[in-house]
Amino acid sequence: MVMTVQNFLELPITKDFEVVAGEDFLHKKMKNVEILDFEFIKGFEGTREKMFTEDSLVLTSLLFAQHEPELLMDMVERFADLHISAFAYKPVIYKDLPSEVLELAVEKEIPVLKFGGDEFFEDIIFQAMNYRTRASQVEFLETTVARLIEDDLDRETQSTLMRQLNRPFETYAYVVSISSPHIASYNLFRLEPFLRTGLITRYKQQMIMVMTNHSSSAPFHERMMEILQICKKELAPIQIGMSNVHETEQDLAKALQEACYANIFANLYNQAIFSYDTLKTEKLLIELMKKQPSFVKRYIDEWIEPLEEWDHFLETAISYVLQEGNIKAVAELHYCHPNTIRYRITKMKTILSPEVNEMQFFEQLSVAIKLYLLKKHLDL
């Protein structure tokens, strides 16, 4: 999680700052906050490159340009040369910057911020650096959890990663994966106090909650629902995948994976809440995907590529499988007559597997479509 200029503006101390130029470039990353005092006064030019590091946000009162406004243009040029992320000025010498300075800043893709009040430089730096440290910790947490989910790790490596997480995990773990269009912008920190012996992080477009307890029969589900009441309104619509309860030390990675797979099938089956324990034949597909990825890719291609050559065939096949073969429901989804759907299904069978009966074809098509959708979600 890299800190950006936009993140800087979301700090409590900068809530009254104004973006006066370069609003389109607030996504730029920033690694540091530095102060410009006298570096642009004649005689101090030699220290500029030592004083400002790349990707820094610079705070300044513009005192150096009090009697030489032309130095403002030079400042922006030098900031561009040094790859400064943005600069914020205190309106004590200049209440407003000359238009040509702002235009040059936009040309150089440097956001210009104006202090909102009498904020102290040192307090701003302290809050920004605290955020950066926290952001680094979040990035490490996200990376570690992603490894536990995605990689086929041996026990020793799993144990090492869990120690590096440095969390007060208890004996048993339960994991919830929540998907929502608003996960990326949601402040996960507000939920941390409710997960004292667990963790919360992001994984792709999901929010991952790990809950632990000394008892395997602890009310994990009820506790999860209580926590969701805090964020459900802001995150709606949401879909939830839940793991089984596992021993934390031995099987945290397994619990994480189960929650993510359950979330995928919650999305596929359009269910608000889906437990890994309710998966049946889907578990076989998951294991096949994990153990034989090359074979699965070839199998998917054999079935999907012919469908893609015909208009609407792939979408129809997906709906046909997810609607469990209900022709009327598929027709309603695609705004067409049931006979149109019957024609497409018959044509698919002729192309893909003419030697089997309709029930066998549905079973074969179901496997191919579910593998295709599962792989598609895993590749996101």
Task: Give pLDDT, residue 51.
Answer: 65
Q: Is the confidence at residue 50, as pLDDT, over 80?
A: no
Instruction: Tell me the three-class secondary structure of 83-129, residue by residue.
Output: CCCEEEECCCCCCCCCHHHHHHHHHCCCCEEECCCCCCHHHHHHHHH
Are 21 and 105 in contact by the 8 Å Cβ rule? The answer is yes
> Who's near 148: CB < 8 A, 6+ residues apart?
158, 161, 252, 253, 256
Tell me the sheet residues that pair with 176.
209, 242
pLDDT of residue 299: 96
Q: Indicate the pTM of the whole model.
A: 0.72
Are the C-beta atoms of residues 76 and 51 closer than 8 Å to each other? no
- How far does Cα 297 stand from its chain's mean position? 26
Structure tokens at 110: 């440097």
* Mean pLDDT value of segment 260-267: 95
Specify the pLDDT at position 380.
66
What span, in angstroms and rounded, lies between the C-alpha atoms of 172 and 251? 9
Which residues have a Cβ under 8 Å from the Cβ of 256 and sit 6 or more positions away?
145, 148, 149, 175, 208, 210, 243
Question: What's the CA gap between 341 and 99, in Å, rounded?
Answer: 63
pLDDT in tens, 25-45: 999 999 899 998 765 555 555
So what's the pLDDT on residue 48?
46
pLDDT digits (tens, 9 = 90+) for 154-209: 888 998 999 888 889 999 999 999 999 988 888 888 888 888 899 999 999 899 99
Residue pointed to by tokens 């209580």:
226
Give residue 367's identity as a one-letter amino acid code.
V
Q: Would you state the pLDDT for residue 108?
A: 96
Q: Out of 46-60, 295-309, 344-358, pick the least confident.
A: 46-60
pLDDT greater than 70 at residue 92: yes
User: Cβ contacts of residue 13 below 8 Å, gap of 6+?
Assistant: 119, 123, 124, 127
